[in-house]
């Protein structure tokens, strides 16, 4: 599997999510600003506060996605390893896992890849493993077929 291509694909997904979060953040800010222009009293102050809360929520989402993209950019320069680590693409009896950021199940090059964080339960169980090692996933013993 092409790890460089997978990283580029994941960056594109994160770029799309960043754009959605940014657009939602701007819309929430605009809504809050529109509410503050009214002088109708407490009802509009509440609406303005809710708009500001929405904006803050989308800003946090944007920042989280930006941090995930930074992790991917650091991984892009990493050299392959035969031992499970952050940036490892691991082929197992349960399928492909990419220890990177938690994006879940992805379709890439006609394969299913599960992008997991190194701090997730499955990500933690893959760290330090080599070809032939076993780990538990979905309450079943799985075997590592290849690490790159």
Tens digit of each residue's pLDDT, the chain (148 residues): 889 999 999 999 999 999 999 999 888 888 777 765 555 555 556 777 777 888 899 999 999 999 999 999 998 766 678 899 999 999 999 999 999 999 999 999 999 999 999 999 999 999 999 999 999 888 899 999 999 9
Pick from 30, 35, 8, 19: nearest CA to 106:
8
CA dist., res. 90 & res. 104, Å (int)? 15
What local confidence, expressed as pLDDT, does residue 6 receive? 94
Tokens of 60: 């946090």
CA-CA distance, 51 to 54, in Å (whole number)?
5
Q: Is the dihedral of CA 50, 51, 52, 57 positive or negative?
A: positive
The pTM for the full model equals 0.82
């Amino acid at each position: 599997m092409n790890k460089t291509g997978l990283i580029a694909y994941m960056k594109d997904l994160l770029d799309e999510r960043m754009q959605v979060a940014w657009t939602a953040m701007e819309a929430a800010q605009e809504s809050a600003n529109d509410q503050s222009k009214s002088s109708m009293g407490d009802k509009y102050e509440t609406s303005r506060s809710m708009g500001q809360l929405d904006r803050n929520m989308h800003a946090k989402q944007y920042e989280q996605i930006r941090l995930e993209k930074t992790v991917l950019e650091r991984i892009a320069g990493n050299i392959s390893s035969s031992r499970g680590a952050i940036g490892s693409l691991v082929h197992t009896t349960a399928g492909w896992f990419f220890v990177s950021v938690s994006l879940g199940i992805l379709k890439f090059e006609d394969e299913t890849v599960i992008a997991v964080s190194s701090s997730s339960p499955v990500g933690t169980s893959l760290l330090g493993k080599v070809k032939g090692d076993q780990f538990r996933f979905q309450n079943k013993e799985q075997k590592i077929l290849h690490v790159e």
